[in-house]
Homo-oligomer: A and B are copies of this chain.
Amino acid sequence: MHACHEHATCVEEALGAADRICAERELRFTDLRRRVLSLIWENHGSSKAYDIMEKLGGDYSAKPPTVYRTLDFLQENGLVHKINSLNAYVGCSHPLKHKDCFFLICSCCNEVQECCASHVADTLRDMAGKNKFSPRHTTLEIEGECQDCLKKN
Interface residues, chain A, CB within 8 Å of chain B?
A: 84-85, 104, 106-107, 113, 115, 117, 119-120, 123-124, 127-128, 131-147, 150
Using known A-B contacts A104-B128, A128-B144, A139-B140, determine if residue A133 contacts B113 with beta carbons closer than 8 Å: yes
Distance in Å from the Cβ of A147 to the closest Cβ of chain B? Answer: 4
Q: Is there an interface contact between A144 and B137, defined as CB atoms closer than 8 Å? A: yes
Distance in Å from the Cβ of A114 to the closest Cβ of chain B? Answer: 10
Q: Is there an interface contact between B131 and A115, defined as CB atoms closer than 8 Å? A: yes
Q: Is there an interface contact between B115 and A132, defined as CB atoms closer than 8 Å? A: no
Residues of B within 8 A of A127 (CB): 115, 117, 120
* A142–B135 CA distance with the chains assembled, in angstroms: 6
Q: Is there an interface contact between A119 and B128, defined as CB atoms closer than 8 Å? A: no
Q: Is there an interface contact between A144 and B140, defined as CB atoms closer than 8 Å? A: no
